[in-house]
Structure 1
Amino acid sequence: MPDTAARHSPSIPILVYHQISEAPPKGAPFRGLYVAPTAFARQMALLKLLGYEGLSMSALLPYLCGEKSGKVVGITFDDGYLNNLAHALPVLQRHGFSSTCYAVSNLLGKTNEWDRAIGIAQVPLMTADQLRLWVAGGQEVGSHTQNHVRLLKTDATTAQAEMTQDKAALENLLATPVQHFCYPYGEYAEPHVAMARQAGFQTVTTTRRGRCAVKGDLFELPRVPVVRSTSLPVFWLKIATAYEDRKNA
């Protein structure tokens, strides 16, 4: 017989955003990774209206572990773009939400240089001081490696250093623990999972689509992508139904 309890076990969505900014002209590479500030504001307002609490990975962890229950959504931002600070932070504060931004320590104050070769527009990343403003604003910083490397194309020693040294650098800058990691590009293998554990991270997020199972694997957490074309009805489907879970089926 089917496992009814497993089928109806609670699921927690972790949203993933990149840039909160107006999209570049039509035809620009990866234009979909931009979410307009007005769209982001509407999405957060809908979460609040529906009774959800938007949480950072640290605040979400007890829910993922089954130690707390409630109507919660994880909110994450990849890469540390300055437009997250400018456009997302005020909205998050307005609703009393927290979030986690995964930063790249060697590129603070620079641009998304890892995208340059494929023609993606170069956009400012937060400086160390701006990252401190993000934390002072009630938000959290996670690790995304020192240089936004492709772990699958990096030798083991370098991959381990990219994780541990990014964690240490961010902790030194912010004077606060950095306990959460995100695999750059969503690319990783089993050895990288072990490295993340050894580095002392508490959770690791991926780009695998879906909501998280309570008491599931904390080192390969799926997320729910929010992109430029995500309408408000689809946004609701992504968080409140099995819409994203089927994407990974």
Structure 2
Amino acid sequence: MLPEHCANTLPIPILVYHQIEGAPARGAAFRSLYVSPEAFGRQMGLLKILGYQGLSMSALMPYLKGEKQGKVVGITFDDGYLNNLMHALPVLQHHGFSSTCYAVSQRLGQTNVWDQAQGIVQTPLMSADQLRQWVAGGQEVGAHTRHHVNLSACDDALAWSEMTGSKEALEAAVQAPVAHFCYPYGVYAAGHVAQARRAGFSSVTTTRRGRCHSGVDLWQLPRVPVLRSTSLPLFWLKLASRYEDRRTA
């Protein structure tokens, strides 16, 4: 079977967020990954003003495949932080947007323990009940492995278990299909792409920067990072220009 590729005629940005919360004190590790609730609200408001529709990965798929045309942007959140539910969900609902949150199935209701060795602040993750609230609020859950592993450090059997196990556990938790996956740390190899397809995921996102152009592999989708330092003018540039495309690596 030949690989399936994006067939959209216009570049589609897929935004990636982590935490929607005020940043920890200056000097804290990975402080850049915090976007304040106020900044997030302004960004979603700008999307609406500019005529974009914010979509989950499932809702975005017909546009990526060229079956629909429109001014759309994908909205994704990595890791499943509780502050996504608290601060992002009301804003998304206010604007009529949907999004996909990639959750780590064996860490529900815990904290981002995979970051502990790097000294990153430990933050609550959504529990199974809170993920159901997320879905009931019109949003979507995607898979991010069972333990937020570096797939390249796993043998084939463990990588397969981490992928398929997260899909199965999250589907049981939210009682809804989990059709989309995100490579933890953005680290993967060709074999993991094949595994993700075989596991039944319709799309997979990466940390490679850029917008989705026609011909991009649906199991290696680039995204547009939104950081604490992302001003509104820069946010617009990331959406509507080649700013991110030139940073593809």
Pairwise TM-score range, normalised by the shorter structure = over 0.9
**Residue 69 (structure 2) aligns with:** 69
Letter of the aligned partner of 1:197 in structure 2?
R
- Say if 2:9 and 2:66, in contact at 8 Å, map to a contact too: no
**Residue 128 (structure 2) aligns with:** 128
- Say if 1:65 and 1:215, in contact at 8 Å, map to a contact too: no
Alignment of 1:20-59 (within 5 A): 20-59=20-59
Alignment of 1:48-127 (within 5 A): 48-127=48-127
Query: 166-175 vs 35-44, which deviates more?
Result: 166-175
- Say if 1:144 and 1:181, in contact at 8 Å, map to a contact too: yes
Q: Root-mean-square deviation (CA), in Å?
A: 1.0
Alignment of 1:179-218 (within 5 A): 179-218=179-218
Q: Which runs of 4+ in 1 moved over 2 A?
A: none
Query: C-alpha distance in 2, partners of 1:31/1:215?
Result: 34
Query: C-alpha distance in 2, partners of 1:62/1:103?
Result: 23
Any idea what the Cα deviations from partners look like across 1:27-55, whole Å, max 9, x if unmatched? Answer: 00000000000000000000000000000
Q: What is the CA-CA distance between 1:10 and the residue it aligns to?
A: 1.4
Query: Sequence identity, in percent?
Result: 70
Query: C-alpha distance in 2, partners of 1:98/1:9?
Result: 22
Any idea what the Cα deviations from partners look like across 1:103-154, whole Å, max 9, x if unmatched? Answer: 0010000000000001000000000000000000000000000000000111
TM-score (norm 2): 0.96
TM-score (norm 1): 0.96
Gaps of 5+ in 2: 1-7
Q: What is the CA-CA distance between 1:14 and the residue it aligns to?
A: 0.0
Query: C-alpha distance in 2, partners of 1:10/1:139?
Result: 24
**Residue 248 (structure 2) aligns with:** 248
Gaps of 5+ in 1: 1-7
**Residue 17 (structure 1) aligns with:** 17
Letter of the aligned partner of 1:104 in structure 2?
V
**Residue 3 (structure 1) aligns with:** none
Question: Aligned with 1:213: secondary structure?
Answer: coil
